[in-house]
Amino acid sequence: MLDLVKKIVKAPAISGREDAVAEVIRAQMAPLCDEITRDKMGNLICLKRGSAPDGERRRVMLAAHMDEIGFFVTFIEENGFIRLTPIGGTNFVAAAFTTVVFANGTRGVLVPESGTAANALTFDKFYVDIGAKDKKDAERKVKIGDYFVVEPTVTRLMGKRIAGRPMDDRIGCVVMIEAARRLPAPRDDIYYVFTVQEEVGCRGSKPSAFAIAPDVAIAYDVTGTGDTIGAKPMAVKVGGGAAIKIKDSSVICTPELVAALTATAKAEKIPHQIEILPYGGTDTSSMQMAGSGCAAGCISIPTRYIHSGVELIDLGDVEACVALTVAYLGGEGK
């Protein structure tokens, strides 16, 4: 699984520019599905048709977003320094003094203006230094409208734990790919949807859910934890298993689906925990409200230090998320 994580993580793709990672995922999903398409927004939709008779198959939509937070180039100074604007919720304390990479492979360092206080680290105080001598030199490598990200990394820690970026939400994509491998003959029609532009408002999942009109929808995304020093109390921890969401600030998950997932986890002895997140949101909300609506839930991967360069997860939790998905969709649990 770690090799797959590295492949998915290391393809830079900010919101609205997801082509690179979509091609990596397409290559993984092609042998596993009956039909693969990309809609007009860029969502990658992989359909595995079910084996149950017509009228007995549900339309199940599983979704994880491909995009990550990042930056667009807005201006190039005469001295060759590059100004930027953020895409998605960027923590500039975490982003300061990091290596960044552009889509064409150009590298630079993201730094604040000299003398900027920590409490004043806003995007307009930052620039990228690619080592250019002047504006003309910089323009040989970079132009207005190019995008870049903090350089992707995966670092192996103790046990089954790894850190790096962007685990949000490439690790959700990994869960879906692994689930597809273990569900070669599902009863239901399963739409594995790798969505775009989640980081800027859950935009991609809206039209894809409207087109699919699922009976059941499950999102896969990272969630915060309460197990670090100074963290607000929260009954989710890294290493505690799959987190079954009840609510976050954007959604109240369908109670019957929460109960079915929880019952499945208990019956199959899959490590799990219950998630109530007092902030944030995922594609769950937009899928729930698309068209005439559907039963919607979320299986979350506990993650420390979200939206930093050292997002930390436990591969045991990832395995639990895969196992829960397979057990729910492969059995009779509804």
Question: Is 169 exposed, middle or buried (CB count within 10 Å of its CB: 0-12, 13-18, 19+)?
Answer: buried
Q: Are 207 and 41 in contact (CB under 8 A)?
A: yes
pTM: 0.95
Assigned CATH class of 2-68+166-330: alpha beta
Give per-residue burial for 238-269: e unless 16+ CB within 10 Å, then b: bbbbbbbbbebebbebbeebbebbeebbeeee
- Could you say which of 18, 198, 275, 311 is catalytic? 198
- Separation CA 112–CA 95 (nearest Å): 10
Task: Say which CATH superfamily domain 70-150 falls into.
Answer: Peptidase M42, domain 2 (2.40.30.40)
Pick the closest to residue 171 from 216, 219, 214 (CA basis): 219
Give the other-Cβ count within 10 Å of 136's Cβ.
11
The residues spanned by each domain of the chain are 2-68+166-330, 70-150
Does 70-150 match 2-68+166-330 at the fold level? no
pLDDT tens, residue order, the chain (334 aa): 899 999 999 999 999 999 999 999 999 999 999 999 999 999 999 999 999 998 889 999 999 999 999 999 999 999 999 999 999 999 999 999 999 999 999 999 999 999 998 889 999 999 999 999 999 999 999 999 999 999 999 999 999 999 999 999 999 999 999 999 999 999 999 999 999 999 999 999 999 999 999 999 999 999 999 999 999 999 999 999 999 999 999 999 999 999 999 999 999 999 999 999 999 899 999 999 988 999 999 999 999 999 999 999 999 999 999 999 999 998 433 3
Residues 6+ apart with CB under 8 A from 306: 168, 222, 224
Residue 139 a catalytic site member: no
Q: Return the pLDDT at 333.
A: 36
Distances (CA, A) of 234 to 31, 114, 225, 266, 316: 40, 38, 6, 21, 20
